A and B are shown apart, each in its own frame.
Chain A
Amino acid sequence: MSGMARREFIKLAGAGLGAALGTGLFHDRLLAGELPATGAKLFADKFGVAREDLRKVLQAALSKGGDFADLYLEYKVANSVFMEDGIVKRSSEAIVLGIGIRVLKGRQTGFGYTSDLALDKMRQAALTAAAIASSGAKVKPPPLRESSPAQQVYLMDKPFADASLDDRIAMVKEGYDAAMAHDKRVVKAVATLSDELQYVTIVNSEGLCISDVRPQVRMGVTVTAQEGKVRNTGSESAGGRVGRTYFQGKRSPREVGIRAAADAIVLLAAVDPVAGDQPVVLGARQSGVMIHEAVGHPFEGEGIWTKTSIVADKLGQVVAAPAVTIYDDATIPHLRGSMNVDDEGTLTGRVTLVDRGKLTGYLLDRLSARVLGMKPNGHGRRESFSVPPICRMNNTMLAKGETDPEDVIRSVKKGFYAETYFGGQVEDTGKFTFSVNLGYMIEDGRLTRPVKNATLIGNNLQVLKDIELIGNDTEYFLGSCGKDGQSAAVTAGTPTFKIRQMTVGGRV
């Protein structure tokens, strides 16, 4: 099919698609720029879950002597459009509907779930979760106080849910075409646009009944380039809890496609790194992954209360160089990891983990806070209704410093610069690894040859102490973080910064 015919076809068929593709729910209010906060009503109106039913389920959950119970109702519609070989190869729509029921007894958790919202099915799941306790004490849950989050960090004027399929196809095509046209050595591109709208209502045995509506969008392009026998792949993505306006700026689909293609082209000339210990400069573009792995994970509540984390006993101690301040802030507007309330209904805020070198806080959900005798601070998250909440990051940031990024690079005579990553991994022991897709050699204070196939390895306590210079720039890296089999949308951000010495792995 020719491109012309396809455009024609899209235009003809575009009308009326909003209804077919969108959820149809709250559509008018969404169009008016208002994200409705009446999630509990949604579950009553659309799925027949009356408010009184929720109390009955809570009652069943507490019927064996549990000391806390919560219900998590979720309805999510996710769409994606995928382009390859110049055509829209696939589109998909996925619906997630269900309720997760959790019962706490001391530090023990019982958990059940069902995707069938009939009262008897919900009650059965509640009784499964209830069995974690065994005293048979009767507790009557208090009346539910319905509320909305006291903040809105993803209000937008052009929400994605009202985009028609032809709007979406146009975006994917723009990214795809820009990548393919970037250089004649580009041999393959795939472009994807995914967006979702998640409605949650969280009810607990303390009377909380809070709802949130959360958008999430991601545009991604992956490009393979070839020259002779050398082939390499680059990718780039953009998005967050954003509306359509976001993609009209410097994060346009075109820019995403070009950046992915440019990386693939640069990598064609890349060499293996010089292996061994050396100074390393982490570029702002994606080095948030380092803060996420090296700092974020060991600061999550479970490792703290079970004392398996390397920083479990270090509250108040100096753990980093004096210039280092690290925080997690779910309230930065529109980022991929932003949330009004966490998945336990706790209002989110800025949590400082390291303040000028000193360890000042952890990322806590209800359970870890309860065991530690601290307050939950909005970091209980879950992938869906079918898994219990665990401590997670949102938007994890290394605070910016005062040095010009160029000067950070200039301070290194011979070393390594990391630009983009495949990802990273960390153990509770603090040992981490991150895998660099594209890096550069630093020679006499300048970036010289592109480098591929490099790995950075270290342990977090050492690296935090070895941070020497912090730039005055910041970029955000969009990530999906895996933990205990659950995936969470996160952002991590850093300035350009220098680590005195790290082990760089590569061919010898």
Chain B
Amino acid sequence: MKQDNQNVMAVAEKLVAYGRKRGADEIEVTVQDGTQFSVNVREQAVERLTEAGEKGASLRVLVSGKQANASSSDLSEATMARLIDNAITRARLGGADPCNGLPETGPAAPPADKLGIFDEKITAMAPELKIAFAKKLESIGMADKRVKKCTGSTFGTYTGAVYLANSKGFAGSYRRTFASAYVGFQSGEGDNLLQDGWGESSATLAGLPDEEKIAGKAAQRVIRLIGARKVDTQKVPMVMEPPMTARMMMFLAQCLSGASVDRKQSFLVDKLGQKIGGDLVTVVDDGLLPGGLGTVPFDAEGVPARSTTVVQQGVLKSYLLNTYYGRKLKLASTGHAGGPRNFYLSKGESSPGEIVRSLEKGLLLTGIIGLGQVPTTGDISVGAFGLWVEKGEVAFPVAEITISGNLGEMLQQVQMVGDDLRFDSTVCGPTIKVAEISVGGKGGA
């Protein structure tokens, strides 16, 4: 592996040198090299098994402040040389933008092997164990008579390395691993079916919850929806389970990206330093979180990863910027080329149970469906699943309703924040309660 590492790095550096020789003022080359394995199980037999090694390269060149990009899964010397030549030709025909260009060489990135993102145990895991894991996920859930069907049970691993070299002298690489498991189930009667599931991912094998925990949670999530019905159109307070808070954070991260802000396709344009949320809202993106699913030593253009306080007690402190948008917005790169790393709403002090009990009448949101999130306005309108809460107790499950609101308003109206934050995805958050949301259902129009 060591030998191989050096070889790939040498290839990347050679391509950088070639690009310079052919007339690029600046050039950056990224090579990815990985092995993926995935298995799907159905009715206790392997339904599909995939295993392969994959390589890919991407590059950008700059000529007189003009940029062109290229990528390839064919890493042969002839193809890569042709792609670089073509890119230089195309760059010359583009428009110059003074904000274009590679990042200036800055402080060194933290050592990759200290980040806890590579686990030999994942690399060495026998296929039989992976298949057994997926089988067990399915059998645990199906053991409950209320579960009718399994919609898929999968286990996967990934081991890969990223090599980045540029003409400013940056040369860095890191290896990382993932293991992930997911299982989904259906329940219900006749044509009134319901489905849900649960999955977990981890950078280390030890960090992955066991089959009982994952399948148990998946089954419980669908069983609790049995008998779901619509409710009347109305306005109510809403409690969001952690995966739903995570979806809200994903939307927030999208609104904070340099591209959205620069294109004015974000409701957070010109809001730096302003109060955009309630006091309970503190949002952090920590690229260095030990063992985090998004943890990396450096971002997609070689800028060292860091921890960024994005929102502090409701005040917007930072956008998520790469070098280009840093310059364009007259700020600095925050190390976010390639997107958010470990982006989360900081935990609060309430227990999830306490938060639900505080609802006199309202919705406990457990699932959403649909794409109705508009960064330009912050408007949200999606299909929803959940549990109806009355007098602090779950009364019945609900489905085929919509929830509508606005991210800006919801952030202002965060009334309680749970203590149940888990770093189980690259974007996450604890249980929260927001003061008001519009529910669309029966009647009303």
Given contacts A275-B402, A386-B73, 11 further A-B contacts (CB under 8 A): A91-B91, A93-B69, A93-B71, A109-B47, A115-B73, A128-B52, A224-B263, A275-B445, A308-B151, A429-B186, A461-B191
Binds B, one of A95-103, A196-204, A346-354: A95-103
Chain A residues whose C-beta falls within 8 Å of the C-beta of B441 in the assembled complex: 276-277, 503
Residues of B within 8 Å of A423, CB to CB, are 371
B54 and A9 form a contact (CB under 8 A): no
Which of B72, B91, B400, B440 touches A508 (beta carbons < 8 Å)? Answer: B440
How far, in angstroms, from A128 to B50 measured CA to CA in the complex? 8
Report yes or no: B93 in contact with A92, Cβ–Cβ below 8 A. no
Q: Can you offer 8 A-B residue contacts whose CB atoms are under 8 A?
A: A87-B95, A88-B66, A93-B69, A114-B52, A115-B73, A275-B445, A276-B442, A453-B374
Knowing A169-B93, A508-B444, the reply to whether A272 touches B404 (Cβ < 8 A) is yes
Contact B69 A92 (CB under 8 A): yes
Name the residue of chain B whose CB is nearest to the CB of A14.
Answer: B93
- A452 contacts partner chain B, Cβ-Cβ < 8 Å: yes
Alpha-carbon separation in the docked complex, A89 to B440 (Å): 42
A135 located at the interface, meaning its Cβ lies under 8 Å from any Cβ of chain B in the complex: no
* A111 close to B (CB within 8 Å): yes
For the complex, give the distance between the alpha carbons of A233 and B49 in Å: 42
Query: Could you say which of A394-402, A431-439, A489-497 contacts chain B?
Result: A431-439
* B377 partner, pick from A232, A415, A435, A457, beta carbons under 8 A: A232
Q: When each residue 277-314 of chain A gets 1 if its CB lies under 8 Å from chain B and 0 otherwise, what string results?
A: 11000000000000000000000000000111010000
Closest Cβ neighbor of B399 among chain A residues? A431
Contact B401 A224 (CB under 8 A): no
CB pair B370 A435 closer than 8 Å: yes
Q: Does A424 contact B (CB under 8 A)?
A: yes
Contact-residue bracket for chain B = 35 or more
Q: Which residues of A come within 8 Å of B, CB atoms?
A: 1, 6, 9-10, 13, 17, 20-21, 84-98, 107-116, 125, 128, 131-132, 165-166, 169, 187-188, 190, 222, 224, 226, 231-233, 272, 274-278, 306-308, 310, 386-388, 414-415, 422-437, 452-455, 457-459, 461, 503-508
Do B440 and A97 touch (CB < 8 A)?
A: no
Question: Are the CB atoms of A457 and B445 closer together than 8 Å?
Answer: no
Q: Which residues of B contact A434 (CB under 8 A)?
A: 370
Task: Name the segment of B80-88, B163-171, B294-302, B311-319 touching the other chain.
Answer: B80-88
CB of B280, distance to nearest CB on chain A (Å): 24
Nearest 10 pairs of A and B residues by beta carbon: A505-B402, A87-B95, A276-B444, A435-B372, A433-B383, A433-B370, A505-B440, A276-B445, A278-B445, A429-B193
| A457–B379 CA distance with the chains assembled, in angstroms | 17
| Residue from B92, B195, B265, B440 within 8 A of A503 (CB atoms) | B440
Which residues in B have their C-beta under 8 angstroms from that of A457? 369-370, 383, 400-402, 440
| B 184-237 contacts with A by CB, 8 A | 186, 188, 191, 193-195, 230, 233-235
CB of A93 to closest CB in B, whole Å? 5
Which residues of chain A have C-beta atoms less than 8 A from B104's C-beta? none
Question: Are A131 and B402 touching (Cβ within 8 A)?
Answer: no
Interface residues of B in 87-107 (CB under 8 A from A): 87, 89-97
Q: Say whether B51 faces chain A, with CB atoms less than 8 Å apart.
A: yes
**B residues engaging A (CB < 8 A)?**
42, 45-56, 66-75, 79, 83, 85-87, 89-97, 149, 151, 186, 188, 191, 193-195, 230, 233-235, 263-265, 267, 269, 369-372, 374, 376-377, 379-383, 399-405, 438-445
Q: Which of B54, B234, B265, B404 is the one whose CB lies under 8 Å from A115?
A: B54
Asked whether A20 and B381 contact (CB < 8 A) given A91-B94, A113-B54, the answer is: no
Q: How far is the CA of A123 from the CA of B366 in the complex (A)?
A: 47
State in angstroms the CA–CA spacing of A112 and B36 once bound together.
10
Are A277 and B52 within 8 A (Cβ)? no
Beyond A85-B97, A274-B444, A275-B438, is A112–B51 a contact (Cβ under 8 Å)?
yes
Tell me the bound Cα distance from A455 to B90 in angstroms: 42
Query: Which residue from chain A places its CB closest to the CB of B36 in the assembled complex?
Result: A386
Contacts of A276 in B (CB 8 A): 233, 440-445
Per the bound structure, the CA–CA distance linking A396 and B444 in Å amounts to 33
Q: In the complex, what distance in Å separates the CA atom of A41 from the CA atom of B66?
A: 38
Asked if B383 and A431 sit within 8 Å, CB to CB, the answer is yes
A6 and B50 form a contact (CB under 8 A): no
Q: Is there contact, CB below 8 Å, between B402 and A422? A: no
User: Measured between alpha carbons, how far is A427 from B404 in the docked complex, in Å?
Assistant: 20
- Structural contact, A10 and B93, CB atoms closer than 8 A: yes
Q: A274 — which chain B residues lie within 8 A by C-beta?
A: 444-445
A113 CB contacts on chain B under 8 angstroms: 52, 54
* Residues on the B chain within 8 Å of A414, using CB: 445
